[in-house]
Structure 1
């Protein structure tokens, strides 16, 4: 019996025809900056999407223009600050580095427990958190203490600007220090060179404890570099008693500075004309003798200077 073998081949399924969609017309996006008007007009080109008529157009996402590699400005676009006259540059420096009133300084500790100086305000100046008192503020009715808008970072631009601005920052301002610790830290941080620029200093407190008051002598040793001072206001009680006792107490702490100023100015008692005492050194109970506060202050200052001249062997 003959068998008829028929070869059956595998039937492959017929592929589904691909749907060919029309190309979508979009504006060409350029990732390189160009100043040509055609590129600016290209950003305003419309998107020809197939949208039904009357449909609300979708909001376009705002994209910043592509930023190319940074290039230095041409010389014609750089302001010639260094070529300005010295008078005009000093006027600009004065706006950035001087305040309308005294600059109040307090001592604080920064990173790694370093002693530093900070600007004081009505909440921090003269405050002793351990005692909960306000040493300076308690003696003054409604003191006006504010932080001036200084820009000391200007000194860090370069060596030339630092040399031009240091005399203005340290010489054109009145520095009011909280106590002798703040004065010692301030003078140690600015260095001997900047101490020579100082013109006016006001000391608000010798110290609220033995630790802070013991820094009076080291602070005046550093102040010996400030030979160009025109005013040293002792706006604090130096000692109790008459002018002779106050003069001896001041000499004990400040004799290095007094002698340094005398050598610099060629007159041994030149520093006595710089020191100013305030009513905080006057014992008000003396008013019962029929003298005004101003008369008591004048007598105290006269005795104070007389005692210092005696200690200077004049």
Structure 2
């Protein structure tokens, strides 16, 4: 019920109407308490939904579990051979995937050309009599992802995978292949054949030196064969200088790893095709055996000259430059040594 106020109006200039004041709100709480009550009525609590518990996957029944590692080692090696090896060899060509240079398996037609030995016929002075032609089989699909199953399979199968004979098309392919296998797998490589040598002044020539720089970790190679013509003079001496110019980093790394400066000559095998290139410019008759000996002799001379220059004693100020290079027998007695660059105009290969 509204309450009537009987208080006398305050005095002022003008008097209020003479009627009772009415108060329509009656409550014991203040305005702040009223606002909090209204807000509390708006908040409604809902029960949280229960999250279903994740169930652990059921183990496969025993009839579906293949215990590969419990097989005898002989059977596992047979499976590794089917998954990791190709009897014809692994033929690789350069490829680009998502703007990244990599390698891909060569098609069957490429393998057939290699087996028929027709890819470089233009470089031969005369066609050779062909033997019974071999029929290239479809390249076997390799499954290198099997190595990622566990450490034991990786340890048992990686040697079999990298024991393949890898045929790379050109220096670009070799460089991309070595970048993919990295320095951890490069020591496992055993046999590599370089089918073509980068020539002229295009992109391929730029990878001649780069591919051998990436090959320095492959110190366990048993054979590295170079096949195909080179863009240099056809004499074996000039072929050796071209190989040393582009591949000295790998030749010296192999010699350092095996403790003999010319150890790379036991691994390197150069076909007679580089000497056939522009054979009409040769000053001497073509002799494959003699050319191979001359090539290795020139490579040995270049490697030995580099070894002596590294082992040379540091030249004193009063000592003439002609006596700066010594045999290097007293290298251990010297506190340090410096590389001495030998310049000989007679051996210059600029032409």
TM-score band w.r.t. shorter chain: 0.5 to 0.7
Query: Which whole-Å CA distance do the structure 1 matches of 2:151 and 2:288 have between them?
Result: 47
Hey, what does 1:9 align to over in structure 2?
Answer: none
SS at match of 1:148: coil
Kept in 2: contact 1:244–1:304 (CA 8 A):
yes
Q: CA deviation at 1:123?
A: 4.6
Instruction: Could you tell me which runs of 5 or more consecutive residues in structure 1 were left unpaired when the two chains were aligned.
Output: 1-68, 128-134
Alignment of 1:44-123 (within 5 A): 71-75=58-62, 78-110=65-97, 112-123=98-109
Hey, what does 1:278 align to over in structure 2?
Answer: 271
Cα distance, 1:269–1:117 mapped onto 2, change above 3 Å: same
Query: With structure 2 as the length reference, what TM-score do the two structures score?
Result: 0.59
Hey, what does 1:162 align to over in structure 2?
Answer: 154
Larger radius of gyration: 2
Kept in 1: contact 2:261–2:304 (CA 8 A):
no
Q: CA deviation at 1:76?
A: 6.4
Mapped pair 1:198 → 2:185? no
Query: With structure 1 as the length reference, what TM-score do the two structures score?
Result: 0.66
Kept in 2: contact 1:105–1:175 (CA 8 A):
yes
Hey, what does 1:139 align to over in structure 2?
Answer: 121
Alignment of 1:23-34 (within 5 A): none
Hey, what does 1:308 align to over in structure 2?
Answer: 299
Cα distance, 1:208–1:139 mapped onto 2, change above 3 Å: farther
Q: CA deviation at 1:285?
A: 4.2
Hey, what does 1:26 align to over in structure 2?
Answer: none
Cα distance, 1:309–1:287 mapped onto 2, change above 3 Å: closer
User: How many correspondences in the alignment?
Assistant: 233
SS at match of 1:313: helix
Could you report, residue by residue, the CA deviation over 1:154-192 in whole angstroms, capped at 9, with x for unpaired residues? 223334323322211112x10000100000000001111
Kept in 2: contact 1:106–1:125 (CA 8 A):
no
Kept in 2: contact 1:125–1:178 (CA 8 A):
no
Query: Which whole-Å CA distance do the structure 2 matches of 1:91 and 1:123 have between them?
Result: 28
Query: Which whole-Å CA distance do the structure 2 matches of 1:286 and 1:259 have between them?
Result: 31
Instruction: Could you tell me which runs of 5 or more consecutive residues in structure 2 were left unpaired when the two chains were aligned.
Output: 1-55, 123-129, 306-351
Cα distance, 1:286–1:216 mapped onto 2, change above 3 Å: closer
Q: CA deviation at 1:91?
A: 2.3
Kept in 2: contact 1:221–1:257 (CA 8 A):
yes
- 222, 230, 241: which one pairs with 1:230? 222
Query: Which whole-Å CA distance do the structure 1 matches of 2:91 and 2:241 have between them?
Result: 28
Could you report, residue by residue, the CA deviation over 1:107-129 in whole angstroms, capped at 9, with x for unpaired residues? 1111x2111110002456799xx
Superposition RMSD in Å: 3.1
Alignment of 1:165-184 (within 5 A): 165-171=157-163, 173-184=164-175
Query: Which whole-Å CA distance do the structure 2 matches of 1:125 and 1:115 have between them?
Result: 22
SS at match of 2:304: coil
Kept in 1: contact 2:147–2:153 (CA 8 A):
yes
